[in-house]
Amino acid sequence: KSLEIAGFKSFAKKASLEFTTSIAGIVGPNGSGKSNVAEAFRFVLGEQSIKSMRGKRTEDLIWNGSQTAPRANRASVKLSFDNSSQHGRPRLFDIDFDTVTLERIIHRDSSSEYLLNGSPVRLKDILEMLSKAHIGASGHHIISQGEADRILSVNPRERKSMIEEALGLKIYHYKKEESLRKLEKT
Ligand code: ATP
C-alpha cells in the first residue's frame, strides 16, 4: 500500500509513497535516490547485508547531513501491506488485520528495532511471517541494478537458493536451522 522513509540514506525528511495502482514507476535524474527506494524496501524486509544496500557500516544507511539538513540519528522505513481478504481472496499474512505495517528502525549505535503494527517483534518473527507469504529481502522479488544479469551468471548453488526462495521454501530452512539450534542446546 505505502512506503514511508525517514532518515534512511538520501531521505533527510520523511517521504511517503502511496501505491494506489498495481504498477508504479519512480523516475528521476542520476543519483537522485531511486535505488535508495528499492533498498528501503529491502531494509524494512529485514535485509542483514549492509553491503547489498551499498554501505560499509550500519551508519552509512542513516542520512549523513547536508548544508541544509543536519544528519539524522536514526533511519526508519515503514511498509504497509493490504492484508484484507476481499473477494474470497485469502489474507496475505496470517494475521487478523486488514493492514499489516512493518517498520524497521536503526540507530547510529547499530541497534535495530522491528515493529509489527506498532508492536516490537523479533527479526525472526518478521522473516517467518514474510517467508510464509513468499516474500523475501533477496531473491527474485527485488531485482536490483545489474542483478537480472546475476540470475543468469551465478553458479548453480546460488541459483538454486534463488529458486527456493521464490518457491517459498525458505520457511522450512528457517525451521530446520531453528530445530538444529534447539537440539544443540538440549
Ligand atoms: P542512478 O540513476 O545513477 O542509479 P539513483 O537515482 O538510483 O541513481 P541512488 O543511487 O539511489 O540514486 O542515490 C544515491 C544518492 O544517495 C547519492 O547522492 C548519495 O550521496 C546519497 N546517499 C546515500 N547514502 C546517503 C546517506 N547516508 N546520507 C546522505 N545521502 C546519502
Sign for the pseudo-dihedral over CA of 77, 13, 99, 40: negative
Distance (Å) from CA 81 to ligand 1 centroid: 26
* Cα–Cα distance for residue pair 82/95, rounded to 1 Å: 11
Distance (Å) from CA 5 to ligand 1 centroid: 14
pLDDT in tens, 53-105: 899 999 999 999 999 999 999 999 999 999 999 878 889 998 999 999 999 99
Q: What are phi and psi of 150, to 5 degrees?
A: -65, -40
Q: What are phi and psi of 73, to 5 degrees?
A: -100, -15
Our answer on whether the CB atom of 55 is closer than 6 Å to any ligand 1 atom is: no
The cell for 173 is 530452512
Confidence band (pLDDT; 50, 70, 90) for 133? Answer: confident
10 Å CB burial of residue 81 (0-12, 13-18, 19+) is: buried
Specify the pTM: 0.84
pLDDT of 140: 56
The cell for 156 is 548453480
* Cα–Cα distance for residue pair 171/160, rounded to 1 Å: 15
User: Angle at CA 167, nearest 5°, toward 137 and 79?
Assistant: 30
Distance (Å) from CA 163 to ligand 1 centroid: 30
Mean pLDDT taken over the chain: 90
Our answer on whether the CB atom of 32 is closer than 6 Å to any ligand 1 atom is: yes
pLDDT of 120: 97
pLDDT in tens, 9-39: 999 999 999 999 989 999 999 999 999 999 9
